Amino acid sequence: MKGTYLGEFEELVLLTVGALYDEAYGVAVMDEIKNETKRGVNISAIHSALRRLEEKGFVKSRMGGATNERGGRRKRYFVLTSYGKKALDDAQSLRMKLYNRIPNMSFGN
Amino acid sequence: MKSNRNIAPPRWADRFLAFYCREEFLEEIAGDAHELFEVRLQDEGRQIASLLFIWDVLRFFRWSNIKSTNRSKITQLMMVKNNFKIATRSLVKHKFYTGINLVGISLGIACFILTYLYVHEELSFDKFHSQKDRLYRVWIHEFDEGDEYFEGVVPMVLTQYMENDFPEIIRSAQMQDKLARYQTPDGTQLTSMIDMVGSDFLRMFDFPLIAGSLEGVLDSPADIVLTKSEAIRRLGTTDVIGKSIEYDIRGENAEFVVSGLVNDPPVNSSLEFVALISDVNKKRFVNEQSLTSWYTFSTELYVLLNERNDVSGLEEKFTGMVETGLGEDYEEGTYTVHLQPLTDMHFNQQIDGDTPVGDINTVRILGLIGFVILFLAGINFVNLSVGQSMTRAKEVGVRKVMGAFKKQLTIQFLTESLLLTLMAALIGLGVSYLLLPVFNQFADKNLQLAFDAPLIQALLLCILFTGVLAGLYPAFVLSSFNPSKVLKGLHKSTQGKHGLAFSLIVIQYVAAIFFVSSTVIMKNQIHYMSELDMGFNKEAKVYFTLPAAKAESMMMQARMKANADQAKVFISEMSQLISIEKISAANNFFGDRGWVKLGYEDKEEELNYFHYNHIDEHFIDLFDMEIVQGQGFDEATTRLRETGMIVNEAFVKAYGIENPIGHKLEGPDFPEHQIIGVVKDFNFSSLHEKIGPLIMSMNAHLVFEGINSIEVNQSLKSTLVAKVDMNAIDKFKGEIEAIWEERYAEPFELGFLDSRIERMYEAEKRNDAMVSLIALLAVVIASLGLLGLVALTVQKKFKEIGIRKVLGASSYTIIKMLNKAFLSPIAIALLLSLPLTYFVMQSWLDDFAYHININPVHFLLAGALIFMTTLLVASYQSVRAAATNPVDTLRYE
């Protein structure tokens, strides 16, 4: 297993996968990120990130059923694993810990 | 919507995706891409959707997505790493052979790098000008009194015609050296060569200004453009724009204001200068005659042609200009103006200009030598690898059994040779860095080892050339072994391979012997020249040259006379002040580029040539020359000193004079004169030429009245030669210098005659040193190769030696047996190199009028030298082999 370090973009993708729950596949994740962050992302970057996350064990995937859309090609759906959830929790708590240490003072404008 | 459904993304992009994408990812990737396409089709239209689809496909082209179509490619990729590992191991394991190869190839590469630097610099001369293809130097082809001249220096009068009269010429600029003096703050007198150039000069050539503006930079008489080094030398800074600077040009103290700064001209520039001033100054610094005469050659002139670049058309047009310019002196075809491409200047030795000229033959020979030495080193590699093949045969067999293809084995062995060459290249680079100063001295160059594109190219070329060429043969031989035979132990080195090794060794030794015997011959010739009786005594003589005296006219005899008179006065005043054993003055001097050559028409209107020197009465006595007939000037009456001439034996012989004393020249215009003495031949030019007929007189008028042709190569200033006591030379120098300084502003320089004469043969000495070095390299490389081969043979014959010894062979017989095998290629090489050396060295010697003859002794000497080296090298191994205890070699059988 590769290192469990979670990059900024990976974290974003992982969060999105979690948020979309059972509907997380490439294009959906991309759209979601676009909508939420107003950030232009290429689909290939999403794919790479998802594959890396899967290798690290943060998500797992399954192939969906064939539909009439996309020329009958199946989608690969991703779901958050508990390990992935834990990684998100860790990241979150680390952030909060540091955030809380910001002294409550006036940032005088 | 339905219509949109049928619109598909570009098919080629889809196919490309299917082509590269891994099977397991293809469905999802293609699916997502198509889905995006469909969405975009509705939102943004077909074109944008297609473009974005293509973009997506390209972005999916990532390492992790690319399928591996051919598994063996991956294996081969892995094998590269493995090959490296095996190569390193095998190189480390066979330290002895690796060492030999490394030393040989790195020497070869060092030699190659040095010669490459030289060749590259020579060939790059003047190529850095962006307009080089349209830049030309104007030169004049002149026939005068039967002599032909190629003048790269042209009359200044031409400059005014170029741009004005010929629309083909866009720009033109003259370039004329001016000796400028200046005083340093501590009062020392120094000189700089300043060039007076046309105002377009910097627009024609690529000498970019680093300070100042090109606009009008050389328009006013006070403008001066300095090079960086001159700026630092004179003003101590490069921040010089607007500063004033003084030079003394032609006795006039001129003040200039710096209007521009340029980098020093690069070493590969024919045009050299330290400072540039504008030619609007020409009235000030050039005499009237030079400005208007068509026969006073005083400046280089460059032109830039227009896009049509029609040289021959323009040269034809020049005829009209010459015709008008010369007026009634014009005679068709005797005075033609031509254009020489700028890039032709460096190697053209015919056209006589102000720029230094190189020799294309030296460049070719050096380039060739670089390759030859590298080739010799490569031969070692081939020989040793093939020789080692026995040890590697089992490895090859096992690999083949495990399923290795021949190609893979070839690649493996090539990796090995490339790795070795790469290491050798690094060492070679270091060696060449160390050798560079020595090489520069030999080649009379100032080359730098800089890591620029040409050097890197050379190195890559070198590594590939050696690595592949040297590695290819062993790679193919080794990889073609039959595994079943090899593993059964049936493999035998065939006779053919032995033959190859043998002939390669012969080639190496042919080269080594060639270089060694050439060195022997060159050294003999140089020794011969230094020992040769020149016909005059050069020992214990010092000389100094007086500045040019003011003459009544520019006529040559007037200038000679003025100089001689000045020398006479100087000598008589000097003799009153200090005691000098012997002193004499003459207008031509030993070590000059050849004495004045004159010619006169006799009754049959045939031109008779002779050399001439204006001497005084002590000249012959001073140099211990021998008068064989008649008398010298020292004993002659005043009248004979005025009308007499002394000729040399060559003169008497050349013109078939039976009774030389009292003989007169047959020209109609000579004043009263007669030959009063004949001097024994002495060599007054270089040993490259035969001694020519010579006339010497104390009165130049005698000969100049009657002659029709003059050829002068140097100034006619008087040179004073004194015989001195070498132990008291410092005192002498001080005394003369004091007298000199009272009279002349010029710096005083005292020279020694013998070293001046030696300097004439500097080029030969440099060649000799260079060839010696190459010979040494060739011998070292060949010996290394032999050392390796002897070692291999000894290794193979270890058991044989053991058995022989057990059966009673003495060490001596064994050494003899081993050495005999290696001496035969040398004997053959010696025979083969004979004609080669003879041919090449004979043509080198033919360039000297006085030379040694090639003698079998030279070859014997060279052969013996090589023989001894080889014997020493081979014996080291064979003695060791013969001394081993047979028990050690046979015990484990």
pLDDT at B630: 87
Instruction: Judge: B31–A42 Cβ closer than 8 Å, yes or no.
Output: no
Start-to-end CA distance of chain A, whole Å, equals: 48
Residues facing B815 on adjacent strands: none
Average pLDDT of the segment spanning B82-93: 85
Q: What would the pLDDT profile of B318-353 be if each residue is shown by its tens digit?
A: 888 888 888 887 887 788 899 999 988 888 888 888
Query: Of B313, B344, B375, which residue constitutes the final position of a domain?
Result: B344
DSSP B826: H
CA distance B784 to B373: 13
pLDDT over 60 at B4, yes or no: no
Query: How high does pLDDT run on average in chain B?
Result: 83
Count structural domains, chain B: 4
Of B106-110, B199-203, B670-674, the range with the lowest mean pLDDT is B670-674
Between strands B189-197 and B275-278, the pairing is: parallel
Instruction: Judge: A75–B31 Cβ closer than 8 Å, yes or no.
Output: yes
Nearest residue in B to A72, CA atom = B31
Residue B728 in domain = no
Instruction: Judge: A27–B34 Cβ closer than 8 Å, yes or no.
Output: no
> Which residue segment(s) compose the domain that B152 sits in?
137-344
| Cβ(B568)–Cβ(B558) below 8 Å | no
Of B43-57, B109-123, B459-473, the range with the lowest mean pLDDT is B459-473
Who wins on pLDDT, B745 or B803? B803
Residue B99 in domain = no
Q: Give B3's pLDDT tier (boundaries 50, 70, 90).
A: very low
Domain co-membership, B595 together with B713: yes
Instruction: Judge: B62–A43 Cβ closer than 8 Å, yes or no.
Output: no
pLDDT at B357: 81
pLDDT over 90 at A41, yes or no: no
pLDDT at B2: 42
Out of B30, B35, B60, closest to residue A44 by CB = B60
Residue A20 in domain = yes
Residue A46 in domain = yes
| CATH assignment of the domain containing A78 | 1.10.10.10
Which phi-psi region, left, alpha or beta, contains residue B704 (left: φ > 0; alpha: ψ -120 to 50)?
Answer: alpha
Residue B572 in domain = yes
Query: Of B723, B753, B772, which residue constitutes the final position of a domain?
Result: B723
pLDDT at B494: 46
pLDDT over 90 at B136, yes or no: yes
pLDDT over 60 at B893, yes or no: no
- Answer whether B42 touches A (CB < 8 Å): no
pLDDT at B714: 65
Instruction: Judge: B31–A70 Cβ closer than 8 Å, yes or no.
Output: yes
Instruction: Judge: B36–A73 Cβ closer than 8 Å, yes or no.
Output: no
Q: Which residues of B touch A76 (CB under 8 A)?
A: 27-28
Q: Which residues of B touch A43 (CB under 8 A)?
A: 32-33, 36, 56, 59-60
Token code pair at residue A47 = 């794919």
Q: Alpha helices of B134-236 — where are they, by DSSP H?
A: 159-165, 201-204, 228-235
pTM exceeds 0.90 for this model: no
Q: What would the pLDDT profile of B851-865 be if each residue is shown by its tens digit?
A: 888 888 888 888 888
Residue A106 in domain = no
Average pLDDT of the segment spanning B500-510: 83
In chain A, the percentage of residues whose pLDDT exceeds 70 is 92
Nearest residue in A to B57, CA atom = A44
Instruction: Judge: A43–B27 Cβ closer than 8 Å, yes or no.
Output: no
Domain co-membership, B232 together with B339: yes
Q: What is the ipTM of this complex?
A: 0.85
Q: What would the pLDDT profile of B646-655 be if each residue is shown by its tens digit?
A: 999 988 888 8
Reduced 3-state DSSP string for chain A: CCCCCCCHHHHHHHHHHHHHHHHCCHHHHHHHHHHHHCCCCCHHHHHHHHHHHHHHCCEEEEECCCCCHHHHCCCEEEEECHHHHHHHHHHHHHHHHHHHCCCCCCCCC
Residues 61-100 of B with CB under 8 A from A: 62, 64-65
CA distance B274 to B249: 15
Domain co-membership, B376 together with B520: yes
Residue A31 in domain = yes
Out of A27, A51, A63, closest to residue B32 by CB = A27
Of A26-35, B232-241, B465-474, B824-833, the range with the lowest mean pLDDT is B465-474
Q: Give B146's pLDDT tier (boundaries 50, 70, 90).
A: low
- Answer whether B4 touches A (CB < 8 Å): no
pLDDT at A1: 40
Q: Which residues of B touch A53 (CB under 8 A)?
A: none
Average pLDDT of the segment spanning B69-95: 75
Q: What would the pLDDT profile of B707-742 be if each residue is shown by its tens digit?
A: 777 777 666 788 888 888 888 888 888 888 888 888
Domain co-membership, B662 together with B630: yes
pLDDT over 70 at B596, yes or no: yes
pLDDT at B153: 87
Domain co-membership, B718 together with B770: no
Count structural domains, chain A: 1
Of A9-23, A37-51, B130-144, B554-568, the range with the lowest mean pLDDT is B554-568
In chain B, the percentage of residues whose pLDDT exceeds 90 is 5
Backbone angles phi, psi at A13, to 5 degrees: -65, -40
pLDDT at B302: 93
> Which residue segment(s) compose the domain that A28 sits in?
8-65+73-99
Give the count of beta carbons closer than 10 Å to the beta carbon of residue B845: 17
The CA distance from B57 to the nearest CA of chain A, in Å, is 8
Domain co-membership, B376 together with B403: yes
pLDDT at B473: 76
Q: Which residues of B touch A74 (CB under 8 A)?
A: 27-28, 31
pLDDT at B1: 41
pLDDT over 70 at B6, yes or no: no
pLDDT at A23: 86
Residue B878 in domain = yes
Q: What would the pLDDT profile of B373-425 be if each residue is shown by its tens digit?
A: 888 888 888 888 777 776 777 788 888 888 888 887 888 888 888 888 889 88
Residue A50 in domain = yes
pLDDT at A3: 55
Q: Which residues of B touch A71 (CB under 8 A)?
A: 30-31, 34
Considering all CA atoms of chain B, what is the largest pairwise distance in Å, rounded to the nearest integer?
130
In chain B, the percentage of residues whose pLDDT exceeds 70 is 96
Q: What would the pLDDT profile of B763-777 be if each residue is shown by its tens digit?
A: 778 778 878 888 888
| Cβ(B485)–Cβ(B440) below 8 Å | no
pLDDT over 80 at B606, yes or no: no
Who wins on pLDDT, B762 or B41? B41
Average pLDDT of the segment spanning B467-472: 78
The CA distance from A76 to the nearest CA of chain B, in Å, is 6
The amino acid at residue B874 is A
pLDDT at B75: 64
Instruction: Judge: A48–B64 Cβ closer than 8 Å, yes or no.
Output: yes
User: A with B: how many residue pairs have Cβ under 8 Å apart?
Assistant: 59
CA distance B86 to B71: 22
Query: Of B344, B377, B412, which residue constitutes the final position of a domain?
Result: B344
Q: Give B23's pLDDT tier (boundaries 50, 70, 90).
A: confident
Instruction: Judge: A76–B35 Cβ closer than 8 Å, yes or no.
Output: no
Helix (H, G, I), strand (E, B) or coil at B293: coil
Residue B27 in domain = yes
